[in-house]
Structure 1
Amino acid sequence: MRIVVDRDRCEGLGMCEAMAHEYFEVGEDGYVTVLDDTPPEAKRAEIQAAVDACPVAALSLRD
């Protein structure tokens, strides 16, 4: 599993960071940074919830 960010869509709203702060961080530039783009499979549900919470669909998971 790999976390992918579409920086063209990202608006830095921070929903992902609020839901999974150990994997996402909104920087001073207003864009999300993925802190660990290959999280363990055991965290899939948590990461998927953060991805699904993005109001502009800037995040996705790839296998």
Structure 2
Amino acid sequence: MGAAMLCGVAGIEHVTLDNSAAYLKSWISALRGDSRLIVTASSAAQKAADLILGTQVEYTQGNEVKAS
């Protein structure tokens, strides 16, 4: 998910869309077994993308507060 987010920011989403879709499809069985997994995985992917992009984000008690 993080790779898909970063590709979107970089403007190369159309090139990697099929690969990203295939990777996410592999998660379907895991997601069916754990309804909270998508939230946890998405949050971790967003934090990783923010770190890679150098975005300053402060996370407090599950809420996201953007800093400059």
Q: TM-score, normalised by structure 1?
A: 0.28
Q: Which has a greater percent of helix?
A: 2
Q: Which has a greater percent of strand?
A: 1
Q: TM-score, normalised by structure 2?
A: 0.27
